[in-house]
């Protein structure tokens, strides 16, 4: 007789945005991307890592990145977001789930991500404990519209699929 949650698939969504700032590194998915502008934030402002973290926490019903790593905690200032993602993966595993696949969409006018996509997939795959072929990263412009179009910042959406460990 199978238990209630055997073989269950869960899906979660994560969203993040950060403002561009001069004098900051641009780090996306744990990869430093050469750019005139970086992203402003309490941590290293890695919008991909933050959205992916929220997507896996959401899928497992474990709250969000702000609860796990409050920005009022000085320990989180300038913190490596890949390290936070790894901590979230451990939480998810503790709740009995394994990450099976991630799909990421970055909405930005600049920079173009194509040249960095494989590196980002590999970096995220390593943090998530899955093969990079199970990590998808797509870049989209906002067709010049709104705050993204004015290059004030970028946004990222991530969808995660988790599988219940048997
Ligand atoms: Zn963020």
Closest CA to 84 of 134, 136, 29: 29
Residue 3: predicted pLDDT:
58
Residue 166: predicted pLDDT:
75
50 Cα–ligand 1 center, Å: 5
Residue 153: predicted pLDDT:
98
18 Cα–ligand 1 center, Å: 6
Residue 79: predicted pLDDT:
83
Residue 78: predicted pLDDT:
77
110 Cα–ligand 1 center, Å: 17
2 Cα–ligand 1 center, Å: 39
Residue 29: predicted pLDDT:
98
Closest CA to 95 of 69, 65, 63: 63
Residue 120: predicted pLDDT:
98
Three-class SS state of 166 = coil
Residues of the chain with pLDDT under 50: none
Interatomic CA distance for residues 28 and 72, integer angstroms: 23
19 Cα–ligand 1 center, Å: 10
Would you say 68 and 60 are in contact if contact means Cβ atoms under 8 Å apart?
Answer: no
């Amino acid at each position: 007789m199978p238990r209630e949650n055997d073989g269950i698939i869960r899906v979660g969504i994560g969203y993040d945005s950060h403002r561009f700032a001069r004098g900051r590194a641009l780090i996306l998915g744990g990869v430093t991307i050469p750019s005139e502008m970086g992203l402003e934030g309490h941590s290293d402002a890695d919008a991909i890592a933050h959205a992916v973290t929220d997507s896996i926490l959401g899928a497992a019903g474990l709250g969000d990145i702000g609860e796990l790593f409050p920005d009022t905690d000085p320990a989180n200032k300038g913190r490596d977001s890949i390290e936070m993602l790894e901590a979230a993966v451990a939480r998810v595993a503790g709740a009995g789930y394994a990450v099976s696949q991630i799909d990421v969409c970055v909405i930005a006018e600049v920079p173009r991500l194509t040249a960095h996509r494989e590196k980002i997939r590999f970096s995220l795959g390593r943090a998530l404990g899955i093969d990079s072929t199970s990590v998808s990263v797509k870049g989209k412009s906002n067709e010049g519209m709104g705050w993204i179009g004015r290059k004030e910042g970028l946004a990222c959406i991530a969808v995660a699929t988790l599988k219940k460990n048997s």
